[in-house]
Amino acid sequence: MENAKILVVEDDREVANIIKNILQNTGFNVPIVVSGGEAAISATKILKPDLILMDIKLEGDIDGIKAAEKIKQSYEVPIIFLTANTEDDLLEIASETGPLAFIIKPFKAKDLVVNVKNALSQRKTIPNKIENGSFAFDKEFNNSLKNTANYIYTLEIRNNYPFIIQHSYGCIYVTGYSLEEYYSNPLLYYEIIYKDDKQIFIENLNRMLCRDLVEPFEYRIVRKDGSVRWVRNIPIPRHDANGELFAYDGLIEDITEKKVSEEFIKNILEAVDEGFVVIDRDYKIISANGAFYKQVGMNSETVIGKKCYEVFHKLSLPCYETGILCGVNHIFNMGTSHAADCHYHGDNKNQLYVETKYYPLKDISGNIVSAIVTMLDRTEKKKLEEQLFHAQKMEALGQFASTVAHEINNYLAAMTTYAQILKMKINKNNPLFKYVNQIILSSEKIAGLTRNLIAFGKKQELNIRPINIYNLIKKSENILSTLIGVKISLEIIFRPSLSQYKELIVNGDPDLLEQVLMNLAVNARDAMPDGGRLIIELNIEEKDNSFINSFECSETSKFVVISVSDTGIGMNEEIKSRIFEPFFTTKEVNKGTGLGLAIVYRIIKEHKGYIDVDSILGKGTTFRVYLPLFEK
């Protein structure tokens, strides 16, 4: 049984390699692995195997059962079926071809070897339709070759040089050239290889001559009629009695239609902006399009072959084992299409919010072999929705704050009036005088607070006019330096491209915009108690309609951007999400009202602009103010 020649027919390359390694390590000879039924039939004619291990489900029109039927019609070679499907109906149909055994996937290496040895020991007759020894065309075999569209050849190695010594009738179907033309010109086949693919052919031919293991390889040829066709070349090594390689029997099949179909589908998938992923039953990603790579910030080398939960969620276990709802698992268990909104982790550590749809991919027998996942990136949309919700919430809070402030003012007016009357009637030497005075001072502070609330809660009367932002910042420089103190350095940066500073005009209220700068400077100062740097940067940016519509900005596409950055303590995500809310503060009691940034937000909105913030805990914060550029 040792050195028995075994043909492996399996369309899952990984499974095929596992089988091949197990058998070769046990001492069996596995000269080649093929993936399709038609290739299995042709390889049987050439290889004359002692045993065939064949998957029931194969790519192409001829599955394992049909291939076994055709092989059994001419050759008495034993067949063992491989299958992951244990349905009785399928196994019953397969049994009609007379296999020696079924091996159910997944299988253990020991079980595979035992079944193979048993099959070889049960073999009763040598194939009576194929001559043993060298490749020869008997009458029946010759007739069968006339009816096949595949091109079968024999390449003999003489003094380390290749010579094609035999061609089948299939050469005319594949290349358009007759047997006579090939025999009259030994170099004809090399001459018809497409010029850009000659190097691929030479590299594989060299591997064949060097006795390296050769896998099927693909390239293009130019037919006699001038058309370019794709072919797959399946070389099968042949050894003499001493085990020395002396020839290759090969099969060349036209795969143009398959290639065109694959390229057509690939072009469609590359043209869409949805991510497209195919995941097999082992949860491995076996295919993906460019949109998906762009979404996750990865490439094919870091994605293909990886588990989907490793790529999407950075997990070491399947999602369903960690409590996460798994759409792919649903496909394999339930078999129905469905949709879900999910969030994944991109390569840049950012979370992606994705509208995901899952579809089952079935083979010709209706079995689910993989899951198709489409992913539409909604991250930007979700951010815009969150920002719009925040703006609406601020609007509601402002209206509420203004209403409360008016009510407080009504009571405050009475309290202040009575306190003033008491002060007039009490002698300064009276111990109660200082308490009355304190009531009046506290009332004034409350009055200032309510004025801020009212200013926050309603649109103010703006003194709108064209303002040069460059001049405004330069004018405010001394005031800002005084506000932040000597321990903090002030840096003002104007981008080199902004050479025409006089053109940096916005429509606005200079006093209110100066208040924005001061409030942001004070906020930065309080974030740097031990000193640091305050950087104010001026730039111009263009924004699209989604930005303008989402934040109810001016309809212009160009914005003057004022960035105010500090090197302070920074903020976490929870604080950052609430930073513009009125009365929200992280300062100690009596150290701030929590209205400074809320007022900044209100002023910017009244100028039809927008403000956002980026912050890294322990490193600092940057506020960016977007104001519509005034264009004449």
Structural domains of the chain, ranges and CATH numbers in brackets: 6-122 (3.40.50.2300), 139-259 (3.30.450.20), 272-377 (3.30.450.20), 382-457 (1.10.287.130), 465-628 (3.30.565.10)
Chain centroid offset of residue 127 CA:
51
Write out the H or E segment, with its range, that includes residue 360: strand 351-362
Q: Count other Cβ atoms within 10 Å, centred on residue 49.
A: 27
pTM exceeding 0.85: no
Round to whole Å and give the CA distance between 316 and 390: 36
Q: What is the pLDDT of residue 141?
A: 46
Work out the angle at residue 371's Cα, subtended by the Cα atoms of residues 366 and 373, and round it to the nearest 5 degrees: 140
In sequence order, the β-bridge partners of residue 492 are 536
Closest listed residue to residue 379, CA positions, set 349, 347, 351, 348? 351
Write out the H or E segment, with its range, that includes residue 467: strand 465-468
Contact 175, 150 (CB under 8 A): no
In sequence order, the β-bridge partners of residue 280 are 370
* Burial class, 581, CB count within 10 angstroms (exposed 0-12 / middle 13-18 / buried 19+): middle
Retrieve residue 107's tokens.
Answer: 């299988």
Distances 206 to 46, 211, 598 between C-alpha atoms, Å: 22, 9, 74
On the CB side of 194, how many CA atoms lie within 13 Å of its CA?
15
Q: Is the bond preceding residue 106 a cis peptide, omega within 30 degrees? A: yes
Contact 622, 563 (CB under 8 A): yes
Contact 456, 602 (CB under 8 A): yes
The crossing angle, in degrees rounded to 10, of helices 469-484 and 510-526 is 40
Round to whole Å and give the CA distance between 150 and 134: 20
Residue ranges, the chain, pLDDT below 70: 1-2, 86, 88, 122-149, 212-214, 345-350, 364-365, 386-388, 390-395, 397-398, 401, 449, 452-461, 495-502, 545-556, 583, 587-594, 632
Q: What is the pLDDT of residue 498?
A: 58
Round to whole Å and give the CA distance between 273 and 292: 8
Write out the H or E segment, with its range, that includes residue 275: strand 275-280
Q: What is the pLDDT of residue 487?
A: 92
Cβ neighbours of residue 213 closer than 8 Å, sequence gap 6 or more: none
Retrieve residue 106's tokens.
Answer: 């997944």
SS3 call for 30:
coil
SS3 call for 215:
coil
Round to whole Å and give the CA distance between 360 and 281: 11
Q: Count other Cβ atoms within 10 Å, centred on residue 203.
A: 10
Round to whole Å and give the CA distance between 203 and 207: 6
| Element counts in the chain: helices (H) and strands (E) | 23, 22
Q: What is the pLDDT of residue 497?
A: 60
Closest listed residue to residue 43, CA positions, set 194, 325, 204, 234? 234
Round to whole Å and give the CA distance between 552 and 138: 84
How many residues are given for the chain?
Answer: 632
Q: Count other Cβ atoms within 10 Å, centred on residue 86.
A: 10
Q: Count other Cβ atoms within 10 Å, centred on residue 599.
A: 21
Retrieve residue 456's tokens.
Answer: 């926050």
What does the pLDDT look like over 323-345, one tens digit per residue?
778 888 888 888 888 888 877 76
End-to-end CA distance of the chain: 92
Round to whole Å and give the CA distance between 472 and 476: 6
Closest listed residue to residue 579, CA positions, set 543, 551, 621, 540? 621
Round to whole Å and give the CA distance between 295 and 348: 10
Retrieve residue 238's tokens.
Answer: 């042949």
What does the pLDDT look like over 518-566, one tens digit per residue?
889 988 999 999 999 999 999 888 877 666 655 556 666 788 999 999 9
